[in-house]
Amino acid sequence: MDRVDISKVSSKALMAELSARGRRLGEDGIACAVESAGECWLDNILPLFHDWLMVRAESFAIEDFRIYVENQRPELCPVSNKAWGVLPSAAKSRGWITRFGSRPACSPKTHGHFVATYSRA
């Protein structure tokens, strides 16, 4: 592996590379979590998400659906919570949801960081 003197790399280029690397690692992590949750986890959770979505009148975060599943259908919870990350992109690609904005997360483990919100398309 070649070493790069980062003092000679612009901060903009460095941030772009770190951002791209972070995105790749995040996508790899989500794929790994979905795989460990079972290859048909997404196939099982999408119909339930669609039904849940059809009664939503207000914007929501994926954590709202996750909480619903944990309480109503715990057998559908993935082994890793990271698997939930694939749900919005799968639903957006099907034309079910659109990005609405963001809000502080409700789950205590997230320490109130902002999460994406969506609305029914």
**What pLDDT, on the 0 to 100 scale, is given for residue 68?**
97
116, 59 Cβ separation under 8 angstroms:
no
Is the pLDDT at 4 greater than 70? The verdict is no
User: The dihedral of CA 16, 109, 112, 62: what is its sign?
Assistant: positive
Q: Name the residue ranges covered by the structural domains of the chain.
A: 8-120
Predicted confidence (pLDDT) per residue in 10-56, tens digit: 777 767 777 777 777 666 665 655 555 555 888 999 999 999 999 99
104 token code pair: 């502080």
C-alpha angle 22/16/33, rounded to 5°?
15
- 48-71, pLDDT tens digit by residue? 999 999 999 999 999 999 999 999
Tell me what pLDDT residue 30 has: 59
